[in-house]
Amino acid sequence: MNAYNFAYLDEQTKRMIRRALLKGMAIPGYQVPFASREMPMPYGWGTGGVQVSAAVMTPEDCFKVIDQGADDTTNAVSIRRFFQATAGVAVTEKTAEATVIQTRHRIPERDLVEGQILVYQVPIPEPLRFLEPSEVETRKMHALEEYGLMHVKLYEDIARHGDISTSYAYPVKVEGRYVMDPSPIPKFDNPKLSMAAIQLFGAGREQRIYALPPYTEVVSLDFEDYPFQAGRADHDCDLCGADNSYLDEVITDDAGGRMFVCSDTDFCSERREAGHVGALGVEAVA
Amino acid sequence: MKDMAMTEAGLSPLLRVEGLAKRYGARIGCTEVSFDLWPGEVMGIVGESGSGKTTLLNCLAGQLAPDAGRVLFDTRGRGMVDTLTMSESERRMLGRTDWAFVHQHAQDGLRMNVSAGGNVGERLMAVGAQHYGDIRDKAIDWLDRVEIAEDRVDDRPSAFSGGMRQRLQIARNLVTGPRLVFMDEPTGGLDVSVQARLLDLLRGLVREMGLSAIIVTHDLAVVRLLADRLMVMKSGHVVETGLTDQVLDDPQHAYTQLLVSSVLQV
């Protein structure tokens, strides 16, 4: 324990990150550059999210990590262990108990409340990246609020697939000003982006931080005649029977067998403990 | 005197250029360029390679910052405004609405990985159009006007021939109904029969929409067909100006005489 400063990063670095976070909170959706540090994990594993979590964490916090909604995947387990070792904070798998939740690709099903912080791991913070390769140009477009190009992407989707086929990292407009990439969450989660908790986004390799304060207005971009639709698989969870959660499709054999289960493992197990049973589930052991 | 009379009659130039100069270090890009462009007028700028034509055009279109001079444009809201001192967002807004720029190489002016319809629609969406059906109808209408078949609307420009790309670029630029079009060698790199069709199309569109245009080219046939007025440039200086037919049929400056006489007669 004593070999590390609390939460791994030195105090000067945390101070620098907190300044970026405050600026991000003051200008919702604006990408604030910060001096991202090397972390003891590869880029793409959540180095940005880890730095943000380290900067906001206090010894009294209760920490939860999810990866695609699950608490038990490699990425989630190693980040949780990392902070157990370097900060000694309490950890949990319960969304309701956690004060800081680091996430990759999902927003928990349970509504977050005031006082909680949701930290996103972001691979590519720039929503215009694949439309306009020049970073100088995209920054200018953000500054001058020139977002016509974002609609070109949606236009192309409809022209080619008959519908807006972008299903994750669906661009949003924040408080009527900045267009933001909500990180690769499914567009099912987009309506939840206006929430009571603080949302912080960290991109380690790209060295950008952005943020959404509580109750920020977040609107998914669309066309008047092709309105935004949050999609989910047309199924109930096979384990807990939930009909309102985001589902993962799991292949169970090589003969076409499959099942749909909640991607949020905590949500699913809570429901099963409460006695809900899906089509392929078994009664919870009392 | 003549200017006064025109202003009193409620007419003012669309574009007024005063003493424009651009230097590259000690070398002259273009210098002492002044002219008025009137609504509905097409002006040609001719000269050999390196004479400063493109530098001048880029300065006028706000893509290069000139070292001296003023470029006044008759904006819709505020009358004559110096485009060099207006804010960048205003200038870029002009570039999406009242101005259009046709590049020599269509791939510079198009998004090659976006469908033809998306290319035409981009300017509409950039000024706030948010109805897919309307955007698409307008795109198809414009593709038709530049003689591109409706069933190519979802193809990418990379699947188009050079002439089609150039026509697509023109459609993309004219869709928002600009008042001033800058063209940099619009027929360069196209074979003669395609050139002829493109010129025909351009002439029709310019007359039909009452466009003002500034066309930079080294091809005298292009200006003979399109331009009302001509400006001949050499080594960054304007050496002769006048009505197109007048300049081409009765060139006064030695360089213009050389230029006109060096065109091959078939």
Tens-binned pLDDT, residue by residue, of chain B (266 aa): 444 444 444 578 999 999 999 999 989 999 999 999 999 999 999 988 888 998 999 999 988 999 999 999 998 888 899 998 888 888 988 988 999 999 999 999 999 989 999 999 999 999 989 999 999 999 999 999 999 999 999 999 999 999 999 999 999 999 999 999 999 998 887 888 888 888 888 888 888 888 899 999 988 888 998 899 999 999 999 999 999 999 999 999 999 999 888 887 76
User: Does B131 contact A223 at a Cβ distance shorter than 8 Å?
Assistant: yes
C-beta separation of B84 from B65 below 8 A = yes
User: Is B258 part of the contact surface with chain A (CB cutoff 8 Å)?
Assistant: no
Counting Cβ atoms within 10 Å, is residue B55 exposed (0-12), middle (13-18) or buried (19+)?
buried
Domain end call among A220, A243, A258 = A220
Which pLDDT score is estimated for A284?
Answer: 56
Query: Are both A33 and A88 inside the same structural domain?
Result: yes
Chain A residues closer than 8 Å to B115 by CB: 156, 159-160
Closest CA to B39 of B59, B63, B64, B14: B14
Q: How many domains, in total, are found in chain A?
A: 2
Is A226 a member of any domain? Answer: no
Of chain A, the percentage scoring pLDDT greater than 90 comes to 92
Is A286 part of a structural domain of the chain? no
Residue A191 clears pLDDT 90, i.e. is over it: yes
Q: Which of B126, B131, B136 sits opposite A146 (nearest CB)?
A: B126
> CA-nearest residue of chain B to A147?
B126
Q: What is the pLDDT of residue A283?
A: 65
- Rounded to whole angstroms, the Cα distance separating A79 from A73 reads 10
Does A227 fall in a domain? no
Prediction ipTM score: 0.84
Residue type, B228: D
Q: How far is C-alpha A122 from the chain's CA centre?
A: 8
Task: Determine which one of A24, A46, A48, A240 is catalytic.
Answer: A240
Query: In A253-271, which positions are buried (b, 16+ CB within 10 angstroms) versus exposed (e)?
Result: eeeeeebbbbbbbbbbbbb
- Do residues A120 and A245 both lie within one domain? no
- Identify the closest residue of chain B to A164 by CA–CA distance: B132
Task: Give the residue on B whose Cα is nearest the Cα of A224.
Answer: B131
d(CA A99, CA A107): 14
3 state DSSP class of A100: strand
Do A268 and A207 fall into the same domain? Answer: no
Do the chains contact at B132 and A158, CB–CB below 8 Å?
yes
**Cβ proximity of B230 and B249 under 8 Å:** no
Q: Do A224 and B132 touch (CB under 8 A)?
A: yes
What sign has the CA pseudo-torsion A25, A30, A32, A38? positive
Q: CA-CA distance, B72 to B82, in Å (whole number)?
A: 4
From chain B, pick out residues whose CB is under 8 angstroms from the CB of A227: none
pLDDT at B143: 94
The answer on A261 and A207 residing in a single domain is: no
* Angstrom distances, CA of residue A111 to CA of A68, A198, A231, B135: 17, 12, 18, 38
Q: What is the CATH number of the domain that holds A15?
A: 3.40.50.11310
Please give the structure tokens belonging to residue A190.
């987009």
Distance in angstroms (rounded) separating the CA atoms of residues A184 and B236: 53
Q: Is residue A51 part of a domain?
A: yes
- Put simply, the answer to whether A225 touches B122 (Cβ < 8 Å) is no
Is A142 inside any structural domain?
no
Of A29, A69, A204, A281, which residue is the catalytic one?
A: A29
What token pair was written down for A217?
């207005």
Are both A251 and A176 inside the same structural domain? no
Instruction: Note whether A210 and A236 are same-domain residues.
Output: no
Q: Which domain, by its residues, includes A100?
A: 11-127+169-220
Q: Are residues A209 and A236 in the same domain?
A: no
Cα A262 from Cα A106, distance rounded (Å): 12
Say yes or no: A209 and A272 in one domain: no
Q: Work out the pLDDT band at A285, boundaries 50, 70, 90.
A: low
The DSSP symbol for A285 reads: P
Chain segment A109-158, per-residue pLDDT in tens: 999 999 999 999 999 999 999 888 899 999 999 999 999 999 999 999 99
User: What is the per-residue pLDDT for A134?
Assistant: 92
Contact residues, B window 110-149, toward A, CB-based 8 Å cutoff: 111, 114-115, 117-118, 121-123, 125-128, 130-133, 135-136
Residues B115, A156: C-beta atoms closer than 8 Å = yes
**Contact (CB, 8 A) for A125 and A283:** no
Q: Is A62 a catalytic residue?
A: no
Answer whether residue A143 is part of any domain. no
For A169-188, the pLDDT digits (tens) are: 999 999 999 999 999 999 99
The answer to whether residues A195 and A256 belong to one domain is: no
pLDDT tens digits, A18-53: 999 999 999 999 999 999 999 999 998 999 999 999
Residues of A numbered 144-183 whose beta carbons fall under 8 angstroms of chain B's beta carbons: which are they? Answer: 144-146, 148-149, 151-152, 155-156, 158-160
| Cβ contact, residue pair A223, B92, below 8 Å | no
Residue A2 lies inside a defined structural domain of this protein: no
d(CA A284, CA A286): 6
Residues from chain B that touch A222, judged by Cβ atoms under 8 A, are 130
Q: Assess whether A202 carries a catalytic annotation.
A: no
> A43 CB near a chain B CB, below 8 Å?
no
- Which of helix, strand or coil describes residue B227? coil
Is there a domain that residue A163 lies in? no
Residue A122 and residue A241 in one domain? no
Q: Are residues A64 and A15 in the same domain?
A: yes
Please give the single-letter amino acid code of residue A102: Q
The reply to whether A179 and A201 lie within a common domain is yes
